[in-house]
Structure 1
Amino acid sequence: MYSAYAQLSETRFLEIYGLNFEEFSEGQVFHHRPGLTVSQQDNAQEALDTFNAAMLHYDGHYAAQTEFKKPLVVSTLTLQRIFGMSWKTFARKDRIVAIEEITMTAPVFGGDTLYCTSKIISVGHTAGNTGTVTVKASCTNQEGVEVAALTYTLTIFKKGKHPVWGNLPGSCSNPWFLAYHKREDGSLQETTGIFFEGFAKGQVFEHRPQITLHPSSMLQHAAQNMQWHPLYHNPEFARQTYGRDRLPACELHVLSLITAATTTTFGRVVANLGWTDTKLSRHFYTQDRFRVESEVLAARASHSRPDQGILTIKTVARDQNEEEAVSFIRTLLVYREDKGPYSAAGY
């Protein structure tokens, strides 16, 4: 079975994604998780950002006069979500070379939750470092109704050839660290983190992908969170008042990114109970890059919640110069094996 980690030492594990070309075979079926709920805000933003002139997507009064009675989600937004939701299984792709067929089989509306399933139709010829894989993707909503289907071909790197994951040690054999669980019909469903029983004091998890600060997201998050201090959006103010030649990122934006980087491993969290000892070494700027890892400091069962356990973890982010940039300790509630909402939610 495929692992979600490469084992670097007895206690150190690296998050990895995707299958090599040689690991795909005709007839395989992958159920991608998590799903994604689409909002009307998402719909309107996609339509306006792409200069979509079809008012059916963002004019509610107009849409009410149609057979749909409410705005219809842009087809290309649904397609983008399909490819996004399936990224973990196909993370070792080079590129999409063709989309043979696209069928929109039912309407999608704001509030619908989308899920994606991929079936491998064929494994084709190889050339150089890659080989071709043809996929039939099906997208369903929360009612199990198929809303879109497409067939596409992509190139996948061969074993040992991917520029990031090509030269890693063997996958981890720990059964808690699997990338998929097998359904009764033999198909594979992507997992969403590690249950409490899989953690032990002293384990270190290297999180991937790495985090890079981008100016657009820095400004967007500052504005959306009412962080209107001119230091974060006015270059002249930053230069005259603080002597800065560029705008720094808001510290809470950086903290959010570093925290989110850990969620692949700690994806079965019930609640984040809090941070202690949070340290930020300096101002952070666009194109700063962070490599994040977490160490399990303690793991104990919850006395008041028998279906959950309590983890204490220390997370450290190192910048592009390998200097410690951010660190903090967190306490998490994590579901125990076969507990929580997973079965009922289709996970």
Structure 2
Amino acid sequence: MPGLYFEELEPGLVVDHPTRRTVTEMDNVLFSSLTLNLAPLHLDEEYSKGSIYGQRLVNSLFILGLVSGITVPETTQGTTLGNLGFGEVKFPKPVFHGDTVHVRTEIVDRRESKSRPDSGIVTFRHLGINQRDEIVCDATRMGLMQKRSAAEQQTAGAQA
């Protein structure tokens, strides 16, 4: 598994994720339409020309999902037991069609689970950054992460 176990997710660890993604008009229109977010700032070019941005904005929930998803291969793929939720989420700068987003993750905190001896709770801070090095998404997330010892016991049990 490429993901990291609870023991490896030490506070202060920073991961610059290699995946970059250019956001397209289709991403924005499809996501906004599928989620019934019909705000003209996402869908109506003529309306948006008169806005303070002068163009359509990419749906912020798409950006949150993209930023979260980009982090998976290097942090939680195969080692997470579940997403426990998001804390504070900010969108300091807008994202427009054609912007390219990359992500940096910092491990902020971790603690043993009080109810599950096989896991611990990790607090991640994900920063979505555009091609101009502007932060476009700043999200804190908590994940229930598997301990390496629990994974090794599962593997040994499966082989027996």
Shift of 1:304: 0.4
Moved more, 333-342 or 253-262: 333-342
- The verdict on how the C-alpha distance between 1:344 and 1:259 changes in structure 2, with shifts beyond 3 A counting, is farther
Amino acid paired to 1:256: G
Question: Residue 237 of structure 1 aligns with which residue?
Answer: 47
Report the equivalent of 1:226.
36
Asked which structure has the greater CA Rg, the reply is: 1
Secondary structure, in 3 states, of the residue corresponding to 1:325?
A: strand
Is 2:70 aligned against 1:261?
Answer: yes
Query: Aligned partners of 2:57, 2:19: CA distance in 1, in Å?
Result: 22
CA RMSD of aligned residues (A): 2.2
Q: Using the alignment, how far apart are the partners of 1:317 and 1:342 within structure 2?
A: 35
1:231 Cα shift?
A: 2.0
Q: CA deviation at 1:244?
A: 4.3
1:25-50 per-position Cα deviation (integer Å, ceiling 9, x unaligned): xxxxxxxxxxxxxxxxxxxxxxxxxx
**In percent, how many aligned pairs have the same letter?**
23
Q: Which has the higher contact order (CA 8 A, sep 6+)?
A: 2
AA aligned opposite 1:266: T
Report the Cα distance in structure 2 between the residues aligned to 1:344 and 1:329, rounded to whole angstroms: 35
The aligned residue for residue 132 of structure 2 is: 321
- Contact persistence 2:94–2:136 (CA under 8 A): no
Normalized against structure 2, the TM-score is what?
A: 0.85
User: How big is each residue's C-alpha offset from its partner over 1:238-288, in whole Å with a ceiling of 9 and x where there is no partner?
Assistant: 224x25442211110111101111111222211111222211112210111
Gaps of 5+ in 2: none
SS at match of 1:253: helix
Name the structure 1 match of 2:7.
197
Deviating runs (4+, > 3 A) in structure 1? Answer: 338-345
- Write out aligned runs for 1:1-347 (5 A): 191-240=1-50, 242=51, 244-264=53-73, 265-267=75-77, 268-337=79-148, 339=150
TM-score (normalizing by structure 1): 0.41
Q: Is the 8 A contact 1:211 1:258 kept in 2?
A: no
Q: When you count helix as a share of all residues, which structure comes out higher?
A: 2
Query: What secondary structure sits across from 1:339 in the alignment?
Result: helix
What amino acid is aligned across from residue 82 of structure 2 in structure 1? A
| d(CA) in 1 for partners of 2:28, 2:11 | 35
Q: Give the unaligned 5+ runs of structure 1.
A: 1-190
Cα displacement (A) at 1:291: 2.2
Q: Is the 8 A contact 2:93 2:135 kept in 1?
A: no
Instruction: Give the SS at the match of 1:326.
Output: strand
Q: Which moved more, 1:270-279 or 1:258-267?
A: 270-279
**Mapped contact 2:91–2:136 kept (Cα < 8 A):** yes
Query: How many Å apart are 1:342 and its aligned residue?
Result: 7.6
